[in-house]
Amino acid sequence: MLLFLLLCLITAGLIIEVIQKRVLKIKDPDIKELWAELESEKWYEELISDPKLKEWVLLDKQNGLLKDPYYVRKIIESEGHREGFINYIKNKAK
């Protein structure tokens, strides 16, 4: 019974994903466009002006938080996420 419910949920998820991608043509956000938007932010320019912090930000772009387009969108739009990210980078650079 539980297996049947699990299979139904997985099937429903796949159907929803197909509808979003094929019918509604909803695309995943492009990370390069988001990075360009992020780099134009004043707080980001101040953050990377410190060479130690810049190194950690670049590492995060390669294989950290900044690789996720949804997270990048959140730190651009939300001040709370932005402050959390800045504190995260500063703590890593210590």
Q: Classify 51 as helix, strand or coil.
A: helix
The 10s digit of each residue's pLDDT in 59-79 is: 988 988 898 888 999 999 999
Domain ranges of the chain: 29-93
| CA 51 to chain CA mean position, Å | 23
Considering the chain, what is the average pLDDT of its residues? 89
> Distance of CA 54 to CAs 15, 24, 72, Å?
42, 39, 16
pTM: 0.69
Is residue 57 within 8 A of residue 63, CB to CB? The reply is: no
**Percent of the chain whose pLDDT exceeds 90:** 52
For 39, the token pair is 């780099």
Q: What is the pLDDT of residue 15?
A: 92
